[in-house]
Amino acid sequence: MKLTRYDTPIDIANNLATYLPKKIKRVLEPSVGKGELIEAVLSQINNDILEKVVCIDIDSIILNFFESRFKDIL
């Protein structure tokens, strides 16, 4: 069975992230894709409080892309 990816558009990710509380300790992103939503989330929250970020994806190729994109941040 072939699964289809639907990446979160950047403008929607940024809009969603504005509704988050600023003091988040943990983030779980169960379908991280290229990381647009996690990037928006990290830009909106207080990173001094952040303890853990867990990002998951079933596509190993896109997960490798995500890991290289965010290697200095996460």
pTM score, whole prediction:
0.83
Helix ranges, the chain (H): 10-17, 36-44, 60-69
Domain positions in the chain: 10-69
pLDDT < 50 positions in the chain? none
| Rounded CA separation 12/50 (Å) | 23
Residue with tokens 């867990």: 54
